[in-house]
Amino acid sequence: MSAFGLKAMKAALLRRALAEYTYLKQEYGEHGYLEATYQHLFLRELETYGLRDRYTPIQSAANYSLLFVVLTSVVGAQPANVLELGCGETTLLLNALLQSGVWRGSLVSLEQDSFWRKEIASAVSTEVVYAPLAERSIAGRPALAYDLSNLKRPLGLFDLVLVDGPTGVPRYSRSACLEFIPKHLAKDFLIILDDYERPGEKETAGLLRQALEANGVAFSEEIFLSNKHQLMLATDKYRPCLYPRHRNGDQVKETVASLRSEHVH
Ligand SMILES: C[S@@+](CC[C@H](N)C(=O)[O-])C[C@H]1O[C@@H](n2cnc3c(N)ncnc32)[C@H](O)[C@@H]1O
């Protein structure tokens, strides 16, 4: 090979390595700097709805980007029935939305930890079910699933499924959600999968997509990047949730007033 050919080959290899690095940085890199933006947006939306900031998004709790997408999705799209895997700050938020009348719907939360279930259940009036983990086979692999024997009634169909539990594992993390998706999904739905930056959650997201596609369900997706990432899958009805925007104050006041008056009567 000529000296010129060698130089061109080195340049091509360098360009490919740079492209790969840029892709990996985007996919797995540090986006924690965006958390302050999400905190600002979450607090701004809370204020718009006249709600107080009572949240402690630290340790394994929801981060601000999750709280923000849950708040804007639920108030904007008004899902009738929500299933939450793993309770905590998001449960407190959904309960506050119900209590204040800015969301009309119902919530069932499943929680694997009896201490944590009690803590959260004592702070909300929604249903928080103690569902200890049981080993089962999910999608042909041994997995940790929720034991549903404490449910008071069979689960129905859910418009929003928030997957933030059980505790993450390295491979096919939180594949317990596949026992509810698509079986317990309403025709139109939104799925929020937290911790999507982790390889195990990415594997589970692959299984979720396969399961939905096998059922002939069409959906769109979007990822929210911050110190933790959220993957959202939505049918057309819930697609606006993938692009949250701040609505003007008068519009919001009108919506909130009408939701609250319907709530009271
Ligand atoms: C990622 S957390 C669930 C977070 C929940 N959706 C929230 O918004 O905080 C997964 C599990 O961690 C446990 N957990 C969450 N926050 C906790 C805390 N502050 N102290 C102890 N356990 C916690 C619970 O068992 C929960 O199901």
Tokens in use for 158? 């859910």
* Residue 59 burial (10 A CB sphere; 0-12, 13-18, 19+): exposed
Q: What is the pTM of this model?
A: 0.89
* Together in a domain, 22 and 79: no
* Together in a domain, 16 and 42: no
124: CA distance to ligand 1 center in Å? 15
* Together in a domain, 251 and 150: yes
Q: Of all helices (H) and strands (E), which one includes residue 14?
A: helix 3-28
Produce one character per residue of 98-108: b if its CB has 16 or more CB atoms within 10 Å, e if not: bebbbbebbbb
Ligand 1 pocket (Cβ < 6 Å) reads 59-62, 86-90, 111-113, 116, 164-165, 167
* Together in a domain, 39 and 138: yes
Q: Which of 111, 69, 41 is nearest to 230 (CA)?
A: 69
- For residue 76, the domain's CATH number is 3.40.50.150
Q: Which of 256, 246, 252 is nearest to 37 (CA)?
A: 246
pLDDT at residue 230 in the model: 98
* Together in a domain, 18 and 35: no
Cα gap 81→102, rounded to integer Å: 15
Cα gap 149→31, rounded to integer Å: 40
pLDDT at residue 171 in the model: 96
pLDDT at residue 84 in the model: 98
pLDDT at residue 58 in the model: 93
- Per residue of the chain (265 residues), what is the pLDDT tens digit? 788 888 889 999 999 888 877 766 666 668 999 999 999 999 999 999 999 999 999 998 999 999 999 999 999 999 999 999 999 999 999 999 999 999 999 999 999 999 999 999 999 999 999 999 999 999 999 999 999 999 999 999 999 999 999 999 999 999 999 999 999 999 999 999 999 999 999 999 999 999 999 999 999 999 999 999 999 999 999 999 999 988 766 666 677 777 777 665 5
72: CA distance to ligand 1 center in Å? 21
pLDDT at residue 20 in the model: 77
pLDDT at residue 209 in the model: 98
* Together in a domain, 198 and 138: yes
Question: Structural domain tally of the chain?
Answer: 2
Pocket test for ligand 1, best of 92, 109, 116, 193 (most atoms within 8 A of CB): 116
* Together in a domain, 96 and 114: yes
Residues 6+ apart with CB under 8 A from 200: 168, 169, 170, 171, 172, 173, 174
Enclosing domain of residue 8: 1-29
pLDDT at residue 21 in the model: 74
Is the CB of residue 194 less than 8 Å from the CB of residue 164? yes
pLDDT at residue 101 in the model: 95
pLDDT at residue 247 in the model: 74
* Together in a domain, 16 and 35: no
* Together in a domain, 37 and 95: yes
